[in-house]
């Protein structure tokens, strides 16, 4: 098993004009390392990869590698809806000291299962580091079926999946058909506790941006089968899980982190700052989750 535990889908800190802020990135990384985060996903959905230029994308991953300095794994988000573009970015990033790739299913153009099989197979053959598949139908418009995942899991460079459907029945199915050495990672914070209690290996979490210490505790409890402790931790976080997805990710999480003083008020169009009607509810959920320095 390569990738397990509490893994944060890290936001990309930006200044008020939308420029990537390296100094804030350094602070975020230390914040997470002190809290026990076990791996960083850089330039994923939460990192606004869709609006980063190629040069920004590469620099962001390069800076993260430098700042983390090998203390925990770094997984680089390099997926797109173009096989050629994904290959280009992935092979370029592969020269950096990353530990693997997170590659999303091709979005918008809606490939068939065979198309996705060939897409991921071609990329996995071209790179020399492991790949985590990323299945998030709610954002991509396409679902990578368990049977296709099983076909892909035979490839030596495809080692796991971030499963963000929220369908808990898939844990048992994927474990049975992909084997015990294939990493099953939740991509849905609301169901992550149950996902791990059913045999998943960890979570790639948005909520961990706000409460990394608590997500680490949740992962430790759930992955060790401590159902009572996991459910007690998760109960305090459920309101926050909901509030962080009241608008498209990463709109709410960036606003929450602004309140914590972790980032500036920077986000790129077409995403906008969290609407005022949702702000109080998010504050209340942060207080309930025990976020320090936040008051209602």
- Please confirm, yes or no, whether 162 is among the known catalytic residues: yes
Backbone dihedral region of 261: left (phi > 0), alpha (psi from -120 to 50 degrees) or beta? left
**Alpha-carbon distance 106 to 104, whole Å?**
6
CB of 31 closer than 8 Å to CB of 262: yes
| Residues with Cβ within 8 Å of residue 176, at least 6 apart in sequence | none
Tell me the CA distances in angstroms from 127 to 2, 54, 89, 111, 153, one per residue in order.
17, 18, 11, 22, 15
Where is 8: in which H helix or E strand?
Answer: strand 5-9
Two tokens, residue 71: 């203390």
Catalytic residue among 66, 129, 162, 276: 162
Catalytic residue among 134, 229, 254, 276: 134
Sign of CA pseudo-dihedral 59, 104, 3, 237: positive
- Please confirm, yes or no, whether 134 is among the known catalytic residues: yes
CA dihedral 279, 285, 290, 292 (to 10 degrees): 0
| Residues annotated as catalytic (active site), given as ranges | 134, 162
């Amino acid at each position: 098993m390569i990738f397990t535990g509490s893994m944060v889908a890290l936001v990309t800190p930006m200044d008020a004009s939308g420029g990537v802020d390296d100094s804030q990135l350094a602070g975020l990384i230390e914040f997470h390392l002190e809290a026990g985060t076990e791996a960083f996903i850089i330039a994923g959905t939460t990192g606004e990869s869709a609006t980063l230029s190629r040069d920004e994308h590469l620099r962001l991953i390069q800076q993260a590698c430098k700042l983390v300095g090998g203390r925990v794994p770094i997984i680089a988000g390099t997926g797109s809806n173009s096989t050629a573009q994904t290959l280009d970015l992935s092979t370029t990033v592969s020269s950096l000291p990353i530990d693997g790739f997170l590659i999303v299913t091709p979005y918008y153009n809606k490939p068939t299962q065979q198309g996705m099989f060939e897409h991921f197979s071609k990329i996995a053959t071209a790179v020399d580091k492991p790949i985590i598949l990323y299945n998030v139908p709610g954002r991509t418009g396409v679902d990578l079926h368990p049977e296709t995942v099983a076909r892909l899991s035979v490839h030596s460079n495809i080692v796991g999946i971030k499963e963000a459907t929220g369908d808990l029945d898939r844990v048992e199915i994927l474990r049975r058909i992909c084997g015990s050495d294939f990493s099953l990672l939740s991509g849905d914070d609301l169901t992550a506790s149950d996902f791990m209690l059913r045999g998943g290996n960890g979570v790639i979490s948005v909520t961990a941006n706000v409460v990394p210490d608590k997500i680490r505790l949740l992962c430790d409890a759930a992955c060790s089968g401590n159902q009572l402790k996991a459910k007690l931790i998760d109960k305090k976080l459920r309101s926050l899980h909901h509030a962080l997805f009241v608008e498209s990710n990463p709109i709410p999480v960036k606003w929450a982190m602004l309140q914590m003083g972790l980032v500036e008020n920077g986000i790129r169009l077409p995403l906008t700052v969290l609407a005022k009607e949702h702000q109080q509810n998010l504050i209340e959920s942060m207080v309930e989750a025990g976020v320090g320095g936040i008051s209602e």
